[in-house]
Structure 1
Amino acid sequence: MITARCHPALEALLPKPVPAARALPGWLREMPSEVAAPALGGAAVRTLKHCPPILDALSLGVLMPLACDLHFADGHVSWDWDPPVLPDSRISRAPVGMHLPEQAQGVPWKLAVNSVLKFMNFWTLETPPGTSLLFTHPLNREDLPFRTLSGVVDCDLFGDGYVHFPALWQDRDFAGTLPAGTPVAQVIAVPRGADALTLAPMNGAQVQASTSLQEALSETPGTYRRHHRH
């Protein structure tokens, strides 16, 4: 369980975080379920709309929204947003900040502009003891003109703090408005210590079980979805 909170004076103003399963991208809804494949003589093939791993990645965790409309023109960003002054809080009133390019010196990132954009987040996020949060670019969302950098925060201990989202702007020629509510980060709960790894060769029974599964996947569409998906 992730608990998101905002300052009471901002509650009516801010777009709210949403479970990712309730905010699937429009292109997924609009794409066909099957298409003709010229390489197969025009035979119909199923699209990734039938791919449970991709659908489950799109549906995983929580999406954090952009606080307000951002307007891009001639390499500049602007906004028409005037949130109330919060004398009892030290959070920024600007919806976006910048990191200097020198702060990314030595990393293999290609910047379309001369800085790293930072989407400001106005929601604290709290998790149960022993649970961290992975913040990453919305999964499989290459349609967005930026790429949010990934990071992990121990939000069971940092539940009163704000985690902001640095992002690489990838479309130098983008002009227009990035609307309020655009997902700028996907948040996934990660139990600490869950990354232990054991390596072992298969025994005979495991080899046979794996072979049987591969045969079923090849011969019966939907095997994973019907028998192996939670």
Structure 2
Amino acid sequence: MRRIGAGGVPAPVVAVLLAFLLAVWSGAGAAQQMTADGVYVVDNGQAVGPLTHADVEQRIRDGRLTAQTMVWKQGMADWGPARTVKEVAQLLNVLQPPPPPPVRDYNAFLDGRWETGRTDLPIEGIGLGTQKMEVIYNKVGTYTSTQIIEVSDGMGGVLRTTNKGRGTFKITNPSPEGFHLSMIGTTLMTSNGPGGNVPLPGNFNYDSTLRVVDENTLNDNGLIFRRVNY
């Protein structure tokens, strides 16, 4: 008489099924434990190896081994990209960081009108005044600017100075967080003081690192500029 297993399946069939499942599980475990020991890599035109599994992991973390790095291991007929060698490709999928976000076109980002609110401005020999600034950038690399400075004249009135500028700008060291801005141009200064209605020309050179707060806000070392639609 044949013994019947669970669910009415003959015991020998149950045994065969269990053996098959164990073999599948064992194979899956072996796949998860694939090792990259013995791999050679091309580094600066030279074959380096054999590397240990830990060496391969470290090179991936350091960025010295990428999906395009040429590698070879015993059993391969020729060198091939790391992404095609399953032992290394598995590590790349786990350890290789994603590509950095693309750096935006900051000339296009700046294009338009930016303003500050009225902020305090210490003026040497006079005291504390205020300033308000406006800069209009053109993505081709030119700008115009207006700076209005106000300070008490000590007699109940306000002395107002206006600086109007124009020139060119250049962006360097762009990153997702911000950029370095260089501006070169000329200015014309007028004021409401005696003789101040005659424009006084000058030169303007400015360098600063600006941080992008959001799509409509820039931080210039604590001075906040906001985008204005125009």
TM-score, with length taken from structure 2: 0.20
Higher strand share: 2
Larger radius of gyration: 2
Higher relative contact order (CA 8 A, sep 6+): 1
TM-score, with length taken from structure 1: 0.20
